Amino acid sequence: MKRFILLLCIQLLIVLPAFCQNRNLKLWYKQPAREWEEALPVGNGKLAAMVFGGVATEHIQFNEETLWTGEPRSYAHKGAGKYLGQIRTLLSEGKQKEAETLATKEFMGDPVRQMAYQPFGDLYIDFPDHENFTEYKRELDLKEGISKVRYKSGNNEYSREVFASYPSQAIYVKINGGKAARLNFSLRMDALHVNKKVSGAKNELTLNVKVDKGVLEGVARVKIITDGQLSEVNGKITVKNATSATLVLAAATTYVDYKSVNGKPVEKVSRVLKTAPLYDEAKKLHIADYQKLFAKFSLDLPLKASSQLPTDERLRQFKSNPDDPAFLALYVQYARYLLIASSRPGTHPANLQGKWNDKLNPSWDSKYTVNINTEMNYWPVEMTNLSECHLPLFEMLKDLSKTGAEVAREHYNADGWLVHHNTDLWRGAAPINAANHGIWVTGGAWLSLHLWEHYRFTQDKVFLQKIAYPLMKGAAEFFTQFLVKDSKTGKLISSPSNSPENGGLVAGPTMDHQIIRGLFRACVESADILKTDPVFSSKLKALIPEIAPNKVGRAGQLQEWMTDVDDTTNHHRHVSHLWGVYPGEEIIPSRTPELLSAAKKSLEYRGDDGTGWSLAWKINYWARFLDGEHAYTMIRKLFNPVQGSSVKMQGGGSYPNLFDAHPPFQIDGNFGGAAGILELLVQSHLGELNLLPALPSALPEGKVSGLVARGAFELTMGWKGGKLLSVVILSKAGNKCNVRYGDKTVSFNTVKGKTYKFDGSLMGI
């Protein structure tokens, strides 16, 4: 009987009533957005839009992922490699400024700046006589991936729905007017670009743009389908006496790939609009496609009184009273929504702002900053069962392995490939901006480790053989030739480089060495799995112990550089030398307790404050330190409410639409924060499934399902009173499974496709 009751409880836990989670799968507000950081995002990977939810005027600001400044070109500086030895010598002699001066003149990329992601245009829908309204509500339904608005005006109820369809490759807007023939509105388009033109036909508007400081042109077209009367005058369409209307927006540019810009956007847009299904069918296809990804994972945490508040009020309430566990679940699911909306197969990877941008000169050009930000975008992707969303990053790596090979030859006289701290649509790989932070050589290496992580979570050997290992090997090959012997220690070091974005140009930053060791180990293990490349693998094995090791400094800190010069009063947002703690795994409690203690000391010296993405990284650090209480402190800081773009000098946190605030907006904190929350629940980087390793007291109960761990295990797990109730493990690859909960462990062989159930004592049931 006891066993029956236990099994029944587990089944009830697994099929927890859907409405409990659905109530917590919406961002919602009682007023329209006043600023961009209050608007709600939709996207299909290629197209993205911010929906303001206005009443008298609805504003939908939209983007197409390939509209950038610039043009196809190589960023490599021809002949830069002949100055490499001189730069290294200056650094070894302690002449940092001289080395930076020489590098600035002779070693930087050409041009020295990369290009910027651009906004495309704006769609405005004007509703006459709607200035007075009641019962307003706007929301983003994460379950369906649809933004919705409803209100009453003039004794009539109006509603709108907006979604970006991946199957239809278009943005849909459905406007319902309530009573028959009561809907009247006008439609217009605009753009920030100087070179723009709006033209109209009876039921279509077309926006043509050309970027300044570049060659790319774009075409956006919106088609109106309605039962009302249509008229067009001077690029403005008016709809009268309608019951409903559907707008279908498509956009494309002349971009083909990083070498070609002879695309035909008019043909692309025309094809999309010609084949676009009607609204009901498009919505059905969109929801089915979206839920294939979104519905694979759920996280249920208790709802409290504040959970019922509008999202902006809920965010403000959390600052003073963080007793709202379900808010963390909403944040994780929002991050998953943003990943689905900004990174789908066949698109480009999520950039610094995902795919959402409303400025011609966005901060840091809204490109790909690969000394942390791009990587952080993909930290939760495998764990939250969105493996497909990782693929655009790998497609970009294929391009970078080619442009990065040219940089390796021209700048370092080496084979293989590398990327410095930034890249863009044109796949720049050379050092940019300034020598004191732009010459950082391990961007490509870190990105390559995402290939390895994808394999570890999926166990896809075909992917490992055909895509991951060749790219990782090329990245590793560069470092076999780049590393040089330090004259003082005799160890191999990375020179020239820097510790992102702190301390200037140096020889031997700790982060570089951690990443390079991680890459070499991944290549060695991959070669062993694939039974290939024994000579290259042996070479890497021999090099690993020769790389300069992690060192503990005079203040008990983990040294950021070869020399013990860490400033313990420096609260810099980058804590790069702790990479070996997270996302790396060479500084761990069981094998390197002294280094772990030193890493924790470094983090304490840096302090708990920081920009949004920095706060997110610190959540993950404290989770790996198995300190759930301190991790929750960092979560509270990440949830610090930040008002819109008019406020620039606040610390990091979250905007009213839960976008991460650097400030300004960067999407990486959304993804890094979600990853950190899940690291509190499950960690799998040490060859075992460690359950509830850092559960804070603020999360005493909950349930997660569809959470994926390394080794291709999918978990459904519940806990209450801070104690594990049960775990169900699906083996997706048939690997041996090692499970830890506190001081309890169990190991067992598995069969692919079979599930294994355990109670809170890790006893099989």
What is the rounded distance in angstroms from the CA atom of residue 358 to the CA atom of residue 209?
A: 15
- Rounding to the nearest 10 degrees, give the CA dihedral for residues 343, 344, 345, 351: -20
Sign (positive or negative) of CA dihedral 689, 690, 692, 695? negative
The alpha carbon of residue 496 and the mean position of all alpha carbons in its chain are separated, in whole angstroms, by: 29
What is the rounded distance in angstroms from the CA atom of residue 371 to the CA atom of residue 665?
A: 18
What is the rounded distance in angstroms from the CA atom of residue 502 to the CA atom of residue 356?
A: 28
Annotate 602-633 with DSSP letters as a single string: HHHHH-S---HHHHHHHHHHHHHTT-HHHHHH
* The token pair that represents 387 in the structure block: 């493996």
Q: What is the H or E stretch that residue 718 is in?
A: strand 713-720
User: What residues have CB less than 8 Å from 46, skipping those under 6 apart?
Assistant: 64, 65, 169, 344, 346, 347, 355
**Highest CATH level, class, for 26-68+116-291:** mainly beta
Identify the three-state secondary structure at position 660.
strand
Per run of 10 residues, the mean pLDDT along the chain (length 765 residues) is 46 44 87 98 98 98 98 97 98 98 98 98 96 96 98 94 98 92 94 98 96 98 97 95 97 98 98 98 98 98 96 96 95 98 98 98 97 98 98 98 98 98 98 97 98 98 98 98 97 98 97 98 98 98 98 98 95 95 95 96 96 97 98 97 69 95 97 98 98 98 98 98 98 98 97 98 91
Which residue intervals of 607-703 are DSSP H helices? 612-624, 628-638, 668-679
Answer yes or no: are the C-beta atoms of 424 and 115 closer than 8 Å.
Answer: yes
Which residue intervals of 483-552 are DSSP H helices? 510-530, 534-543
Answer yes or no: are the C-beta atoms of 48 and 164 closer than 8 Å.
Answer: yes
Q: Which residues pair with 253 in a beta bridge?
A: 218
What is the rounded distance in angstroms from the CA atom of residue 509 to the CA atom of residue 526?
A: 26
CA nearest neighbour of 114 among 355, 353, 424, 438? 424
What is the rounded distance in angstroms from the CA atom of residue 114 to the CA atom of residue 460?
A: 35
What is the rounded distance in angstroms from the CA atom of residue 672 to the CA atom of residue 614?
A: 9
Annotate 88-156 with DSSP letters as a single string: HHHHHTT-HHHHHHHHHHHTS-SSSS---B---EEEEEE-TT-SS-EEEEEEEETTTTEEEEEEEETTE
What is the rounded distance in angstroms from the CA atom of residue 180 to the CA atom of residue 80?
A: 70
The second-level CATH assignment, the architecture, of 79-106+381-549 is: Alpha/alpha barrel (1.50)
What is the rounded distance in angstroms from the CA atom of residue 107 to the CA atom of residue 672?
A: 33
Q: Which residues pair with 729 in a beta bridge?
A: 715, 756
The strand pair at 689-691 and 737-741 is best described as: parallel
Sign (positive or negative) of CA dihedral 417, 253, 222, 120? positive
CA nearest neighbour of 425 among 264, 256, 213? 256
DSSP secondary structure code for residue 560 in this structure: S
DSSP secondary structure code for residue 429 in this structure: -
User: What residues have CB less than 8 Å from 82, skipping those under 6 apart?
Assistant: none
CA nearest neighbour of 355 among 44, 82, 86? 44
Backbone angles phi, psi at 422, to 5 degrees: -145, 150
Answer yes or no: are the C-beta atoms of 182 and 239 closer than 8 Å.
Answer: no
What is the rounded distance in angstroms from the CA atom of residue 126 to the CA atom of residue 237?
A: 10
Residue 478 CB coordination number (10 Å): 25
Answer yes or no: are the C-beta atoms of 666 and 653 closer than 8 Å.
Answer: no
The CA–CA distances, whole Å, from 247 to 148, 192, 200, 525, 724 equal 14, 22, 14, 52, 49
Beta strands in 145-235 (DSSP E): 146-153, 156-165, 170-176, 183-190, 195-200, 204-210, 217-226, 229-233
Domains in the chain: boundaries:
26-68+116-291, 79-106+381-549, 552-607
Residue 288 CB coordination number (10 Å): 10
What is the rounded distance in angstroms from the CA atom of residue 268 to the CA atom of residue 344?
A: 19
DSSP secondary structure code for residue 678 in this structure: H
What is the rounded distance in angstroms from the CA atom of residue 354 to the CA atom of residue 348?
A: 10
- For residue 704, the one-letter residue type is V
The strand pair at 755-759 and 229-233 is best described as: unpaired
Answer yes or no: are the C-beta atoms of 432 and 108 closer than 8 Å.
Answer: yes
Residue 156 CB coordination number (10 Å): 13
User: What residues have CB less than 8 Å from 290, skipping those under 6 apart?
Assistant: 144, 145, 166, 340
- My answer on whether omega of the bond before 545 falls inside 30° of 0, hence cis, is no
Place of tokens 């963080």: 322
